[in-house]
Amino acid sequence: MAIQFTDANFKTEVLEADKPVLVDFYADWCGPCRMMAPIIDELAAEYEGIVKIGKLNVDDNPNTARHYRVLSIPTMIIFKNGEVLDTVVGTVPKNMLKEKLDAHK
């Protein structure tokens, strides 16, 4: 199951993480986000202990979404050592996200 990131825990859970982190910026009302949700959960299980994978609700946590200029959702951003490594916008196949994660783990 994917971790729930918030404005309050983003610094410690994502920016200070000791492994790469995939953050899925989403909203409950977003159809494409709901399509990506099972893929994000599957990846969280597959990469457990290797990559931290979680979700951030942009409606409940606007400060973080604004800081990273998330204008369209779903947006998936891969972080490592507090830096943005890669960004994917929109619905994408699971294998595309796996390739990006494998390149940065």
**Which structure tokens are listed for 33?**
């986000």
Please list the active-site residues: 30, 33
Mean pLDDT score across all residues of the chain: 96
In the sheet that holds 52-57, the strands lie side by side as 3-5, 52-57, 21-26, 75-80, 83-89
Closest among 44, 46, 40 to 94, alpha carbons compared: 40
pLDDT digits (tens, 9 = 90+) for 35-74: 999 999 999 999 999 999 999 999 999 999 999 999 999 9
Q: What does DSSP assign to residue 14?
A: I
Residue 1 has pLDDT above 80, yes or no: no
Closest among 22, 57, 58 to 39, alpha carbons compared: 22
The dihedral region occupied by 90, where left means phi > 0, alpha psi between -120 and 50, and beta the remainder, is left
Residue 2 banded pLDDT, cuts 50, 70, 90 = confident
Residue 25 banded pLDDT, cuts 50, 70, 90 = very high
Q: In the prediction, which pLDDT does 48 show? A: 95
- The span from the first CA to the last CA of the chain, in angstroms, equals 19
Assign a CATH topology to domain 3-104. Answer: Glutaredoxin (3.40.30)
Mean pLDDT computed over 88-100: 96
Q: In the prediction, which pLDDT does 105 show? A: 79
Rounded Cα distance between 88 and 23, Å, is: 10
> What are the residue ranges spanned by the domains of the chain?
3-104
